[in-house]
Amino acid sequence: MSELFVVGLSWRTAKVAVREKLAFREEELGETLVALTRELPVTEALLLSTCNRVEVYGVAKREVDATAKVRSFLAQRRNVKLAEVGDALYEHRGPGAIRHVFSVASSLDSLVVGEAQILGQLKEAYALAGTAGTSGPVLSRAVERAFGVAKRVRTETTIARGAANVSSVAVELAGRVFGDLRGKSVLVVGAGKMSALAARHLYSNGAQRIVVTNRSPQKAEALADEIEATARPWAELEQMLVEADVVISSTGAREPILTKAMFKRIARARKYKPMMVIDIAVPRDAEPKIADVDGVYLFDIDDLDKVKAANIAERQKAAEHAGKIVEHEAGQFEHWMRSQGVVPTIRALREKFAAIADAEVSKALDQLARKDLTREQHRELLQRSVQLVVNKLLHQPTAVLRGSSADDAAVRAGVLAELFALEISEEPERSEIAGEPPAEPPAEPSTEPEVQA
């Protein structure tokens, strides 16, 4: 039976300096997959390359261990020595590979347990393998089942509940303040990447527009272009604060730039409509006392980290339940994989039985075509044809069983009894007592019509 395997490295086994050595650009994936299945004893393959992992999910040719060759292939393909990455590479085969794929899809193997991004990345990798023509029946069934397992985990557990990074925590807290983010405006103070990411998350969750301001106009414009925002001069900061519902601040200032005195004026100008200030700067950009101003909700980096830590703890608890789901589903899939090993035998058995039956049916049809046979002769002919089929099917296994040693015969008899649900009689037949040889299939019956007196 062909075996599913995984070869790769991830954040668990390699720092980014090692992971980046094996990383593939999107435009390289298709060609790499084709080369992998053409040059190695691999019949099916999928290549997943993200910032946190590079993994090959594959199916080896029957009775072949392809993992060592895949290790070498990855190193050669990226022009690195295997010794540079070998210690970080891991491999899983059979049941272990199935569990790994299911765990990855369910984000149980992610740096942030419960994150949703990996499932989308796996779906993209699977689609690309389909385009490259390197996905087949075993890999397709495994990956599609992994998608189903991931859906079960998200539906039946709380693993995805609660934000687990600064940008998504910002969205969660904004939702607590405003309920609905639709139509809310966002002001990014400073040109930090974390601010930009948080602003982007807020925008994708319904915030209407994003404005960026920075002491350096060029940096403000560059960031605004990157996140589809509007850049405005630093001199207009107080007016922009009046217009903003959500403020994300991350500058390099040594002293607070958002003061309580300023926010008293801003709150009056806004008629005390709620506004949220997310200060992710260190040192802090906002004076803690601005939280005392009516309508102002202030969160600093420690607040965000506390929410994130609580959410991660909740996800870890849910991961135990998710792990049981993965274990159950993996067991089901293993059962299916084992069943595939007997498919060729079942097919051959079916074909042989069908050939014997077809041959006898053809003979019977030729004889039944005679018009001078009575109804009773028709019946007798059909009964004899069926008996011939039964005799021919049983002849070989009966001969093997009778010719076996006592121990082998007992084992084979037990298998036959189980396969055909036989009720075994303890009383031997006469032929068995006398030691008679197995009966040969009877000669074909005569179909000459009876002479009527």
pLDDT tens digit string along 294-335?
999 999 888 877 777 777 777 778 888 889 999 999 999 888
Q: Contact 116/201 with Cβ under 8 angstroms?
A: no
Can you give the pLDDT at residue 167?
66
Mean local confidence (pLDDT), 193-214: 82
Q: How many CB atoms lie within 10 A of CB 441?
A: 14
Q: Contact 5/58 with Cβ under 8 angstroms?
A: yes
pLDDT band at 342 (very low <50, low <70, confident <90, very high): low
pTM for the structure as a whole: 0.58
Q: Picking from 9-23, 165-179, 336-350, which range would have the lowest pLDDT averaged per residue? A: 336-350
Question: β-pairing, 246-249 with 185-189?
Answer: parallel
Provide the CB-side half-sphere exposure for 197 (13 A, CA).
9
- pLDDT of 198 strictly over 70: yes
Cα gap 18→9, rounded to integer Å? 9
Three-state SS for 60?
Answer: strand
pLDDT band at 427 (very low <50, low <70, confident <90, very high): low
Place of tokens 């700067």: 281
| Amino acid type, 298 | L
Cα gap 348→353, rounded to integer Å? 9
Could you tell me the two tokens for 314? 């909740």
Within 227-342, residue ranges assigned H as helices are 237-243, 260-269, 301-340
Nearest-CA neighbor of 235 among 254, 255, 214, 220? 214
* 440 against 75, higher pLDDT: 75
Q: Could you tell me the strand order of the sheet in which 90-93 lies?
A: 42-49, 53-60, 4-10, 90-93
Can you give the pLDDT at residue 351?
79
Domains for the chain: give ranges and CATH numbers: 4-156 (3.30.460.30), 166-308 (3.40.50.720), 354-434 (no CATH)
% of residues, the chain, pLDDT over 70: 90
pLDDT digits (tens, 9 = 90+) for 117-176: 899 999 999 999 999 999 999 999 999 999 999 999 989 987 776 555 666 777 778 888
Catalytically active residues are 51
Q: Phi and psi dihedrals of 279, rounded to 5? A: -100, 105
- pLDDT of 443 strictly over 50: no
